[in-house]
Chains A and B, each alone.
Chain A
Amino acid sequence: MKRYLWTIGFGVALFGLTCLLPSFQNYQLATVAAYLCATAGLTVLTGQCGQLSLGHGALMATGAYTVALMQSAFENLPLSLVAGVLVTVLAGAVIGVAAARLRGPYLAGVTLAVAVVVPGIATMFHDVLGGDQGLTFYLAPPPFGYDFPFERWQAWIALTAALLTMLLLGNLAASRYGRAFRAVRDDEIAAQLSGIHVARTQVLAFVVSAAGAGLGGGVLAVLALSVSPGAFSLTLSLFLVMAIVVGGLGSLAGAVWGAFLLVALPDLTARVTEVVPLSPALAQRLEGNLPLAVFGITLVVVMLAAPGGIQGLISSALTAKRGR
């Protein structure tokens, strides 16, 4: 109940915020919200249930392409997003069943293969999926008249999706299912002896996190009004894992920090390359790679200095303050 009230409160505040922000910031906020659906799902899987997935970018692609195809066919956004989630859940269940038999590096290997293969599918079936060009689609204008800024409308869609994701995953983490996730992560044998079906629990975690990734990918498509394989490369999958680790593995609040970083870091590095006088060729080369490098370095630093991530730092600071 408390979580419902918090969600409504946050929702009101964020929707209000979108009325103050200029278009571009609204668009960025919407992107954060879209990423949050995916990072929140991934942190449940990796942080709470202990299964590493390097393939969540591909699951986002699944959601995004489904939304694009559904939008082109029916132009019904809620229907498209639900379909995106369902198709991704299906894909996640298949990978999850395989994943439940695998541990550690083998699991990483299989999910990595998914991340590499899925963008290739779009190229292979280019008649339906548009190849490297991808698909573009149409989104009905906001129902509040043509004066209503389109970016604000997109932000509302994305924020609704993110708030819903956070609410449901928060509920789940506090329930017996969340407890089973963490029990399986900590000790599979003790979990079995406590009456927990380990494989079923792991598949459930995969399905839940796939739903988040599918919704996130679908919303990302709605923001860009297009999908293409390039947007869901292996790099995205790695970025997602880095984001939840830097944000604070296993905590939904950490997933929020991670989603912010996913939008903020590329923006920040772009500004740095603008300010620092560089030759155009070098600047162009840095543009794509610098965020990755910065993220990688941040990850190493966080792992060494604060293994709990940003959220870990914040909660220990809060505990220390309360202790005084």
Chain B
Amino acid sequence: MLRGIGVRFGGLIALEDVSLTVPPRRIVGVIGPNGAGKTTVFNVICGFVAPHTGTLTLDGAPLRPKPHRLARRGIARTLQGVGLFAGLTLVENVMAGATASARAGFVSALLALPRSTREEARLREDAVRQLDALGIGKHADALPATLPYAIQKKAGLARALAARPRLLLLDEPAGGLGADEIDELAVLIRELPETAGTAVLLVEHHMDLVMSVCDEIVVLDFGRVVATGTPDQVRGDPAVAAAYLGTDAIPDSRPVAGDVTR
């Protein structure tokens, strides 16, 4: 849950008084034109950007996010594009995603003690199962660059799910995918609360996908929430049409404040 979040980059207001709540096992979408602040919302939740105003809470407790501690708190995120580790095979990528659950100490790793090797075997097993669940298990030992884009995207999702999140942040999961692949993705996301027990916060440009999977949608424009509601409510909201189509001459050359992490 975010309350009254404000972010400024120098004189540029990226987010102003943004509040949103993701209830457990619900799917919430954040939409808005380029530069509306969608990715900045993610970066605030992940601790890449510190908000100037406002508070974050997770399960009622205040959250001061640090990127490397998120997974431990039950928050996982996919990245725009692919963001896989290029030098790691798919299964190793997914195993890396489960780092927060790894316990073996340095000495047991150095000496390859049973404690470490057993844990590695468990992580590998879990990772293969995760890849299998997404239908890409046969590529487990391939390097990302050798595989089609859609499979890499799925592997990125598998890596995020390996952290067993309660809140999954999906940053443009449909970016670069074809129509059939997007349909498949929609089914997959729709099932995540059921299969993975996680809530989903989704940033996406592809409107059909957002409308078909989300329980609730938050519309951002110029860093402000201009509408909140179910897909049907949002679709009919005149403020949303204004944000996208521009009823009062909005300049095209607005500064892009989001997308700072990539």
Contacts and interface: CB of A to CB of B under 8 A. Distances in A.
Interface residues of A, number: 29
Nearest to A204: B106
A264 interface: no
B259 to A, nearest CB: 12
Secondary structure dominating the interface of B = helix
Interface string B69-94: 11110001101000111111000100
Contacts of A110: none
Interface residues of B, number: 40
B46 interface: yes
A186 B88 contact: yes
Nearest to A175: B109
A195 B71 CA distance: 5
Given A189-B83, A190-B84, A176 B112 contact: no
Contacts of A186: 85-88
A192 B160 CA distance: 12
Interface in A155-208: 168, 171-172, 174-177, 179-180, 182-183, 185-187, 189-198, 204
Contact of B96 (A171, A174, A183): A183
A46 to B, nearest CB: 13
B104 A193 contact: no
A194 B109 contact: no
A194 B77 CA distance: 8
A103 interface: no
* A-B pairs with lowest CB-CB distance, top 9: A195-B71, A175-B109, A192-B67, A195-B100, A186-B85, A195-B99, A171-B112, A192-B68, A197-B68
A197 B70 CA distance: 11
Contacts of A250: 87
A177 B102 CA distance: 10
A220 B261 CA distance: 46
A271 interface: no
22 contacts: A168-B110, A168-B111, A171-B112, A175-B109, A175-B110, A176-B95, A176-B104, A176-B109, A179-B92, A183-B85, A186-B85, A186-B87, A189-B261, A190-B79, A191-B96, A192-B67, A193-B46, A194-B97, A194-B100, A195-B71, A197-B68, A198-B68
B87 A185 contact: yes
Secondary structure dominating the interface of A = helix
Contacts of B160: 193
B256 to A, nearest CB: 18
B123 interface: yes
Contacts of B92: 179, 182
B76 A193 contact: yes
B67 A189 contact: yes
A192 B70 CA distance: 9
A26 B261 CA distance: 54
B144 to A, nearest CB: 9
